Structure 1
Amino acid sequence: MPRLAIDAEYLTDQLKALLTIPSPTGYTDTIVRHVAKELERLGLTAELTRRGAISAVRQGSRRASARAIVSHLDTLGAQVKQLKDNGRLELVPIGMWSARFAEGARATLFTEAGTYRGTILPLKASGHTYNMEIDTMPVGWDYVEMRVDALSRNREELDKLKIEIGDTVAIDPQPEFMENGFIVSRHLDNKAGVAVMLAAIEAMEREGVSTPVDIHWLFTIAEEVGVGAASILTPDVASMIAVDNGTSAPGQNSSEFGVTIGMSDQSGPFDFHLTKKLVRLCIDEDISYQKDIFKFYRSDSASAIEAGHDVRTALITFGVDASHGYERIHMHALRSLSELITAYATSPVEIERDRNQHAGIKGFTRQPAIEAEQELAEDSEPAE
């Protein structure tokens, strides 16, 4: 079945709703509830792990060699490291992101006593006080602090506010949706990926399409700290596609338009045959695409492989400018990704041997060039 038409308005509305819900790693309960309810509204049954990762299985013609699509609900953020004598907060990052992008950010602090608003500032923030010194400060988390918008002139007053070490800080996304299709916001990694998956599900449910195998729609809650899909896969899943961000930057081939297919990340190459199939689907379905390699990047697929899951993995991405900073994407890429997911989910199974976790050589995959030449040479030898 060819790619399905994607409801761009639905995709946009879902992304807007997701961006309103703070969800730094470790503080994801609210967004888990939101996505689980939306999945059930679409007609799927959402099952949660103990900590809140979501699995929703859309039944196909068979269970064996099921397919999985995965993205993550968690985002970058920060935690309180120390209560400072000047009434401000020392922070440590949640996930890998630069304090350069934290400077000036508005944020929400979650405590047992309630929430507080505040701003992350350099230690020397006033030009009227420090003059040019504000331009010569080093960049790093040791050189920023959070100013809480409450009476907090010293540590004692912070204690009265019941602010504690370990409290979570969520960074405001500050989203802006342009009429020309560009979207600028923090946390597009990976709330845009979640919206892409929901839009694909909506299209499949709207059209009532069938799939050759079960499709597991997975939403993880700790990808930004390297956990990802380590514990959510079941043995019947034979292949998994991660939906995440690509990096459209100098030296990279990612784009804010079309699908960017990851060929390799810091954990190594993605599955040869699954990646090749995705490229072929893009060509057959007239979905614009490009390939890229990410040297300083990992996704849900890496954590699954490292956890010991024997699944084929691939990565499809929307190009993000300034990833893990003030991010920018384009609706063209999001729509293209949703289209590719629908085309993949409904495509025939090609590697029948994958229905078994262990099997003999019969039906095992082939790769071009060297193996083919060796087999030709063997075929030309006289029989013993």
Structure 2
Amino acid sequence: MSETPTRLDIDVDYLQRCLAGLLEIPSPTGYTDEIVRSVCTELESLGIEYQLTRRGAIRARLPGRRSAGARAIVSHLDTLGAQVKALKPNGRLELVPIGTWSARFAEGARVTIFTEKGAYRGTILPLKASGHTYGDEIDKMPIGWDHVELRVDARADSAEQLGMLGIDIGDIVAVDPQPEFSDTGYIISRHLDNKAGVAVMLASMRALIDAPQPPVDVYWLFTIAEEVGHGAAAILPPEVASMVAVDNGTSAPGQNSSEFGVTLSMADMGGPFDYHLTRKLAKLCQENDIRMRKDIFRYYRSDSASALEAGADVRTALVTFGVDASHGYERIHMHALRSLSELLTAYTLSPVAIPRDEKDIGDLSGFTRQPTAAASSPAPAPSERTADPA
């Protein structure tokens, strides 16, 4: 692989504007139509062609010199949220979560309930919320979705009154992101997973518009149900040979992720990511002077998992921006978002190193190698060297 830098400059102001706009649009899984419309409108303004599935997943394409052996880059538009499980006799709402997140982070959240008669505002509270009433019992409340309720900002003292408002079981509840963009580059908000990833992709695409043509077609996929495990299975074109997911890394004790630079995931709950593709991305970071570290995520799965489970024979990798307090009130840094965007531009423009990947199936000719010799052994002859990364 060439050591000529291929990363492009990123318009950080555009990236931040995209992220701020995306955060303003509620998009819990199952309620993503408006954010899909917003991203499609942005693609149109960039002059990038796209297709839309029945439910709203987006497949945009930057044409390359060849279509076989195409690449894909994917992130998700949907976020965490909740649904109404029951109308309670006290006029409050029982909830169930959309996606996997702790009710610890729901307590005190301001929300919007979307009903067929219109939207209502409200607050998620513990069952015992008044210190003047319950005293120290508040601190003894268990944590869990069975121990919180939604107080609607409308007159409702009974289940019947809730029904008269038009609130019903199954209604979607969107949690306010409460974003803050600090002068020091930190961004604090809910739902940075994965609206930050979407903004990273849009900023990368904008930088690539006037760049040289990529060696192969690059598909930019925006999915709508990653938080409930559906991911990229239904939107991946058959000509795609490798797919890079863009999502959050977990900056926490015991993890190696960082809020600065790129965090390259070597494995998640689905097992190791592709050996050659992950090492290509690591090498691109080195060649392009992009800060990078590696990590493994034990309680995590990304958009690529559903595609592999559906039988897609593609190389997969996961590149991330480190997030503190993931699936809670999250924090990231613009340095990581810019670094990720730079890496995506370098990957898009990088040469193809495994031409065999253009074919669905073939013989051993051109198949990759992995190192097997002991580290202290002499370097192999040129004809025996390990193939360059994907």
Instruction: State the TM-score, normalizing by the size of structure 2.
Output: 0.95
How far apart are the structure 1 equivalents of 2:32 and 2:334?
25
List per-residue Cα deviations over 1:41-96 (Å, max 9, x = no partner).
11111211110000011100000000000000000000000000000000000000
Compute the displacement of 1:221 (Å).
0.1
Partner of 2:258: 255
1:25 to 4, 8, 29: 29
AA at the equivalent of 1:311: V
For the residue of structure 1 that corresponds to 2:119, the secondary structure is: strand
1:199 paired to 2:207: no
1:136 paired to 2:140: yes
How far apart are the structure 2 equivalents of 1:374 and 1:302?
35
Once structures 1 and 2 are overlaid, which stretch shifts more, 363-372 or 245-254?
363-372
2:289 to 286, 311, 319: 286
AA at the equivalent of 1:119: T
List per-residue Cα deviations over 1:157-203 (Å, max 9, x = no partner).
10110100000000000000000000000000000000000000000
Compute the displacement of 1:209 (Å).
2.4
1:343 to 343, 346, 350: 346
Compute the displacement of 1:303 (Å).
1.0
Partner of 1:233: 236
How far apart are the structure 1 equivalents of 2:306 and 2:101?
19
Partner of 2:187: 183
> Which consecutive residues of structure 2, in runs of 5 or more, have no partner in the other structure?
385-390
How far apart are the structure 1 equivalents of 2:9 and 2:351?
19
2:301 to 284, 298, 302: 298
Compute the displacement of 1:215 (Å).
0.4
1:98 to 99, 102, 118: 102
How far apart are the structure 1 equivalents of 2:146 and 2:165?
23
2:89 to 64, 78, 85: 85
1:312 paired to 2:315: yes
Partner of 2:172: 168
How far apart are the structure 2 equivalents of 1:307 and 1:2?
33
Q: Which runs of 4+ in 1 moved over 2 A?
A: 370-376
Once structures 1 and 2 are overlaid, which stretch shifts more, 153-162 or 192-201?
153-162
List per-residue Cα deviations over 1:101-135 (Å, max 9, x = no partner).
00000000000000000000000000000000000
How far apart are the structure 1 equivalents of 2:381 and 2:291?
36
AA at the equivalent of 2:157: R
After TM superposition, the structure 1 = structure 2 runs for residues 116-131 of structure 1, keeping only pairs within 5 Å, are 116-131=120-135
After TM superposition, the structure 1 = structure 2 runs for residues 44-83 of structure 1, keeping only pairs within 5 Å, are 44-83=48-87
List per-residue Cα deviations over 1:260-297 (Å, max 9, x = no partner).
00000011000000000000000000000000000000
Partner of 2:221: 218
> Which consecutive residues of structure 1, in runs of 5 or more, have no partner in the other structure?
379-384
AA at the equivalent of 2:196: A
1:41 paired to 2:11: no
RMSD: 1.6
AA at the equivalent of 1:251: G
Once structures 1 and 2 are overlaid, which stretch shifts more, 38-47 or 343-352?
38-47
How far apart are the structure 2 equivalents of 1:303 and 1:318?
21
How far apart are the structure 1 equivalents of 2:293 and 2:85?
42
Once structures 1 and 2 are overlaid, which stretch shifts more, 142-151 or 301-310?
301-310
How far apart are the structure 1 equivalents of 2:202 and 2:63?
16
Partner of 1:381: none
Instruction: State the TM-score, normalizing by the size of structure 1.
Output: 0.96
Compute the displacement of 1:2 (Å).
1.5
